[in-house]
Amino acid sequence: MSTALVAPAAVADPPPADPTPAGPTAAAERRGAELEELIRREPGRFRVLTGDRPTGRLHLGHYFGTLQNRVRLQRLGVELFLIIPDYQVLTDRDVAERLSEHVEGLLLDYLAAGVDPEQAVIFNHSAVPELNQLLLPFLSLVSVAELGRNPTVKDEIAHSRQSAVSGLMFTYPVHQAADILFCRANLVPVGRDQLPHIELTRTIARRFNDRYAADRPLFPEPEALLSAAPLLLGTDGGKMSKSRGNAIALAADADETAQLIRGAKTDADRRISYDPAARPEVSSLVLLAALCQDRDPHQVAAEIGDGGAAALKRTVTEAVNGYLAPLRARRAELSGDRGELRRILRAGNERARAVAESTLDQVRAAMGTVF
């Protein structure tokens, strides 16, 4: 019933393309430099948990927003837990369609991008019941008002296909807290939309520790790690998202990529510049080329100069297709061995379950529910 009360207000007032407040973003960016230094010195002190909903093909927003960072962190020696949150597919739709196809696609993208599956724990949310049991105590630690204020949830409600907001949509940031805390991850490489959720996870960890484990805190307060592209825009100028029909998939072929970029929104000014605040669409395209070529976006823009949108799009298409060619080739190779993909997931589910069982035992002990 409370969900019905939430829906109309949130839908009547659709938030802007980037609903995340500037303050937390700036703070996360500042902290990012310190974190990088700490990681470089002692990678073994960090454990990463992050993941992607199996709602479609991963896109460039994922790659430059978080996937590239995951691979980099793993190579530095940081432990990596990758969750495929299948229950979360049901936050904004009634049925999780083509689930096994999407899960397989995610795995292929991870492996093709360079994640080492022998080191990483790659697992399905639904396969770890002990993780999900954390949801009950965690829900008791947050208020309905706190959940209702979450700007990312408001944005997702505005883009949802459902007419009413489900309890799952409303509470999914608490699920995410369980996803992160079950393995005591302390580092979460994410895009900007996730910052409010990480903040809530920190609040839940703090409140749990205060209430049940004041002498020996059970949970860390995890920190977000933003990349150089914390909010890549899609071809329509909104956040690039699997579910919004505005994304360039990692698995797309070169022609599909060219066609999508040709259709991307730009503006009327022929002179290309990099100015994300004043020219978000053009700047996002410039940034994309710069990321693919590992160059400074201002330099990329200056080189295109008065070439206009057509020259910009040609540059971006070449840069993206050139950059993704090896990843796409690896992906095609790996897709031949579905048995291996299943083996990786089964092993990941088992390892995640063992970790979740141990955490739940400690939660039970802290809460006095060992019978």
Is residue 162 near ligand ATP by the rule CB under 6 A?
no
Of the two residues 137 and 230, which places its CB atom closer to ligand ATP in the complex? 230
With binding defined as CB under 6 A, does residue 61 bind ligand ATP?
Answer: yes
Share of the chain residues as helix, strand and coil, in percent rounded to the nearest 5 = 60, 5, 30
- What minimum distance in Å lies between the beta carbon of 54 and ligand ATP? 8
Min CB(35)–ligand ATP separation in Å = 16
- Taking each helix axis as running N to C, give the angle between helix 22-41 and helix 68-76, from 0 to 180 degrees, rounded to the nearest 10: 30
The encoded tokens of residue 191 equal 């895009």
Q: Where are the alpha helices (DSSP H) in 97-229?
A: 99-113, 129-133, 135-139, 144-148, 151-159, 167-181, 195-212
What one-character DSSP code corresponds to residue 187? E
239 binds ligand ATP (CB under 6 A): yes
Tell whether residue 257 is a contact of ligand ATP (CB under 6 A).
Answer: no
Cα of first residue to Cα of last residue in the chain, in angstroms, is 34
Count of Cβ atoms closer than 10 Å to residue 206 Cβ = 14
Residue 197 in contact with ligand ATP, rule: CB under 6 A = no
Q: Does 190 bind ligand ATP (CB under 6 A)?
A: yes
The smaller minimum CB distance to ligand ATP, of residues 55 and 209, is found at 55
242 part of the interface to ligand ATP, by CB under 6 A: yes
Does position 20 interact with ligand ATP (CB under 6 A)? The reply is no
Dig out the tokens for 324 from the structure. 């993704």
Q: Does position 238 bind ligand ATP by CB under 6 A? A: no
Sign of CA dihedral 138, 196, 61, 63: negative
Segment holding 339, helix H or strand E:
helix 338-367
* Binding residue for ligand ATP, selected from 28, 39, 48, 62, defined by CB under 6 A: 62
Q: Is position 356 an interface residue for ligand ATP (rule: CB under 6 A)?
A: no
Q: Identify which range of 17-25, 55-63, 259-267, 280-288 contacts ligand ATP by CB under 6 A.
A: 55-63
Identify whether the C-beta of residue 21 lies closer than 8 Å to the C-beta of residue 167: no
Residue closer to ligand ATP (CB basis): 240 or 312: 240
Which residues contact ligand ATP by CB under 6 A?
50, 52-53, 55, 61-62, 65-66, 190-191, 193-194, 229-232, 239-244
